[in-house]
Structure 1
Amino acid sequence: MIEPHLPQQSETTAVIRDALAAAVQQGASDLHVVVGHPLTLRLNGRLQELPGPVLTDGIVAPALRDLCPPERWQLFQAEHNLDFALELDINGQPGRFRVNYFVNGEHSGGCFRVIPAAIPSFQWAGFPVEVADRLTQIRNGLVLFSGVTGAGKTTSLAMIINLLMQGSGLRIITVEEPIEYVFPMRSGSLITQREVGRDVQSFADGLKYGLRQDPDVILVGEIRDKQTAQMALSAAETGHLVFSTLHTRDAKGAISRYTDFFPQNVQNEIRGQLSQSLQAVICQHLLPSFDGEKRELALEILYRNSPIASAIRSGKTDSIDRNILTGRADGMITFDESIKRLLQAGKIDRETAERFVTDTGMLAR
């Protein structure tokens, strides 16, 4: 068993700890630690500086070193980038953070993503329960969650996996970088969470060895390369339910991005495989709410049906937007329609809606 790293409590580390406590208490999503700027939160999508001095190397470098396990700090020194999970005592309660260290010129910096203490409810996140129920009824195939960084993909997947664990007994394997949400043990289900860089060398290796561990469901934190994309597709074809994420702005972009991992001469074959194995694409955006208290979830939802499968197979991704529109009866929805519903429900204002829709005229229709 790997013992958790216990950060040193130096004066400089205390500065970061206090800021992380403020992030948790205020409901911020991130804390930014950048030399030349004060400590800065992202609160409800907006940057907000905390009271205090402008950060210097003398504050940042020692604090980042003390918060990081020694062996990971050595890796950061060599590669200038590092992802890891951090757990701290925040006012007597465990606080978890996804951490990224980076080098900016000659300075070290960090971004700390706040992980909620418990897996949120679908109602809190604004994720439709009927969509979650439908996804957990899929027996095999590939389900992709896409969206820009910070769109809540990891949280949505955590809620889906948690729901799966409450049903019939399933063997679930996750491969994450780093592990964010820790799933509670539930009678009848069996889950193992493996962290890239600690338990396994890469997402592809996690998939490769995970397939030998009798899985029903596999969660791959992110598809970043051809090898992981190929193995995820193969796992989906051989009777497993595979969830993963891609950084794209819409559903058709996720399909194009997946195909683009592969050389041109095999893309027709990959499109054929995708047309049969891809079950759904859920694309997310978080929009500023009307009252500024939180951000509202807008979704584009694509489910595979005959027209969608045909468009994927033929490479006619431009027709996918139209197929989503005509697939309303199958539960599909475009971003524009999702944003319009948020506006009609009074959850966002018209200015926000007009800024994010592709067709402002549809708001009046």
Structure 2
Amino acid sequence: MLDVEVSSLGPGVIERALGCLRNGHHAETDVPYATLSSLLERAVEAQASDVHLVPGYPATFRIHGELAPVDGEALAPGDVRRMVEAILPERVRGRLETERNFDCSVAVSSGGQSHRFRANVYLAQGNWCACLRHVPTEIPTLEWLGFPDALAARLASHSNGLVIVTGVTGSGKTSTLAALVSLLRRDASLRILTIEEPIEYLHPVQGGSMVTQREVGRDVDSFADGLKYGLRQDPDVILVGEIRDRETAQMALSAAETGHLILTTLHTRDAKGALTRLVDLFPQDQQDDVRSQLALSLRSIVCQHLLPSAQPGQRRALALEVLHNNLAVQVAIRTGKIETIESAIQTGKREGMFLLDEDLQRLVSAGQVTLETARRYASDPAAIKATKPAW
């Protein structure tokens, strides 16, 4: 991780620095450091979640879900590469030459404070582009994120099995898992292992629990390898940043079956989609066995979406769908009748389950999101009403 100390910068420094870059300054001079570092400093001040660097466009922030171009000229081809090279750790600079996409973590310092960003660098039409997501230094609580107290308590009560947080890219899954790890370690003496790509939130050394964070590409070759060797490291809890392939899925299910608590994410819109995605990672002739494993090891699925607030300038509102495993859910999974999961959630309200559309209605009734916004995210838009629901 590279720390860059940034002094106070006056107006126009970004534009002047870009001009110097185009006139041939080397990527490791102070100019590109100041350029990108000052931009990231402005992003933090503006409460931007993301910074986009794309040739042909000015640098652009995402603030409360909306794109906001930064004042200044458009980036030229080559600008982005020079800016990114200047702050990349040396161990990953060579990857610009060999890979078309990669992730890494970046830290910049300003005014004595360190700010962390998760960077994705990629090619588009042969030009380098980058998206940098701000990772707050302080780990949020589930309450601050918008989780009901009862749900937070339920998730923290699991001592084994599989907990899946699912949602689209940018829906806050990483923050949720970091908050859950923080809650778990606070109330117990646990050996917690995380396997992340890249590491975003840093868990400090504190309390009776031990947290070891491993980064794919630096500390371990893959999520599957991290799980394989992690099981030999006496873990109580293993956080797997994402399940992307059959090998990782199989090892996660086996670990959950043998008494470990596995926390992970998937990229799906709802609980039903998460179950389907997990089973579909396996060939047809293995899916019955996988369903049986999943029916026994699953504990909870939380699907989350971040919606624009009804109040301009306010942070986005969290909408959830929640499934907890019970007999009806087990039967649906084991028999492959995933289409009945919605019915199982609806009949499981007393156990703390609810569908996304129900939570969207709650947000509308509370004035947290507009009716139009809620309907854009709903499975059945017509079911979302402007008035308070009957339930």
Q: How high is the TM-score relative to the length of structure 1?
A: 0.97
Over the matched positions of the two proteins, sequence identity in percent amounts to 48
Whole-angstrom distance in 2 between the partners of 1:117 and 1:156 = 14
Q: How does 1:43-58 map to 2 (within 5 A)?
A: 43-58=63-78
Could you give the per-residue CA deviations for residues 299-340 of structure 1, whole angstroms, max 9, x where no partner exists? 000000001010001111111011111110110010000001
Which residue of the other structure, out of 262, 266, 279, is the alignment partner of 1:259? 279
Which residue of the other structure, out of 231, 236, 250, is the alignment partner of 2:251? 231
Which residue of the other structure, out of 318, 322, 325, is the alignment partner of 1:301? 322
Task: Report the CA distance between 1:127 and its aligned residue.
Answer: 1.7
Task: Report the CA distance between 1:60 and its aligned residue.
Answer: 1.4
Could you give the per-residue CA deviations for residues 79-107 of structure 1, whole angstroms, max 9, x where no partner exists? 12111111110332100011111011221
Partner of residue 210, structure 1: 230
Q: Matched residue of 1:42: which SS?
A: strand
Matched residue type, 1:342: L
Partner of residue 219, structure 1: 239
Whole-angstrom distance in 2 between the partners of 1:159 and 1:51 = 35
Could you give the per-residue CA deviations for residues 45-103 of structure 1, whole angstroms, max 9, x where no partner exists? 11110001100124211111111122211123101211111111033210001111101
1:289 correspondence with 2:309: yes
1:349 correspondence with 2:370: yes
Segment drifting more, 86-95 vs 329-338 = 86-95
Whole-angstrom distance in 1 between the partners of 2:181 and 2:147 = 14
Task: Report the CA distance between 1:10 and its aligned residue.
Answer: 2.9
1:358 correspondence with 2:379: yes
1:97 correspondence with 2:117: yes
Query: Retained in 1: the 8 A contact 2:78–2:128?
Result: no
Q: How does 1:176-187 map to 2 (within 5 A)?
A: 176-187=196-207
Matched residue type, 2:189: G
Partner of residue 29, structure 1: 49
1:279 correspondence with 2:299: yes
Partner of residue 19, structure 2: none
Give RMSD over aligned pairs.
1.2
Query: Retained in 2: the 8 A contact 1:12–1:59?
Result: no
Query: Retained in 2: the 8 A contact 1:158–1:181?
Result: yes
Segment drifting more, 130-139 vs 261-270 = 130-139
Query: Retained in 1: the 8 A contact 2:137–2:202?
Result: no
Partner of residue 109, structure 1: 129
Matched residue type, 2:337: K
Whole-angstrom distance in 1 between the partners of 2:321 and 2:127 = 39
Matched residue type, 1:5: L
Which residue of the other structure, out of 343, 359, 377, is the alignment partner of 1:322? 343
CA pair 6-40 structure 1, distance change in 2 beyond 3 A: same
Could you give the per-residue CA deviations for residues 183-221 of structure 1, whole angstroms, max 9, x where no partner exists? 111221111000000000000000001100000000000
Structure 1 stretches of 4+ with a deviation exceeding 2 A read 4-10, 121-124, 358-365
Task: Report the CA distance between 1:125 and its aligned residue.
Answer: 1.3
1:337 correspondence with 2:358: yes
Q: Matched residue of 1:57: which SS?
A: coil
Task: Report the CA distance between 1:131 and its aligned residue.
Answer: 1.1
Larger radius of gyration: 2
Whole-angstrom distance in 2 between the partners of 1:152 and 1:57 = 31
Query: Retained in 1: the 8 A contact 2:375–2:382?
Result: no
Task: Report the CA distance between 1:6 and its aligned residue.
Answer: 4.2
Whole-angstrom distance in 2 between the partners of 1:250 and 1:147 = 7
Matched residue type, 1:294: R
Task: Report the CA distance between 1:358 and its aligned residue.
Answer: 2.2
1:5 correspondence with 2:2: yes
Query: Retained in 2: the 8 A contact 1:38–1:55?
Result: yes
Could you give the per-residue CA deviations for residues 153-175 of structure 1, whole angstroms, max 9, x where no partner exists? 00011000001110120000000
Partner of residue 80, structure 2: 60
Whole-angstrom distance in 1 between the partners of 2:382 and 2:119 = 41
Task: Report the CA distance between 1:274 and its aligned residue.
Answer: 0.3
Query: Retained in 2: the 8 A contact 1:87–1:95?
Result: yes
Could you give the per-residue CA deviations for residues 262-312 of structure 1, whole angstroms, max 9, x where no partner exists? 001100110010000011100000011111311000000000000101000
Q: Matched residue of 1:5: which SS?
A: coil
Query: Retained in 2: the 8 A contact 1:12–1:60?
Result: no
Whole-angstrom distance in 1 between the partners of 2:42 and 2:2 = 22
Segment drifting more, 318-327 vs 69-78 = 69-78
Whole-angstrom distance in 2 between the partners of 1:272 and 1:38 = 52
Which residue of the other structure, out of 174, 188, 191, is the alignment partner of 1:171? 191
Which residue of the other structure, out of 122, 139, 156, is the alignment partner of 1:119? 139
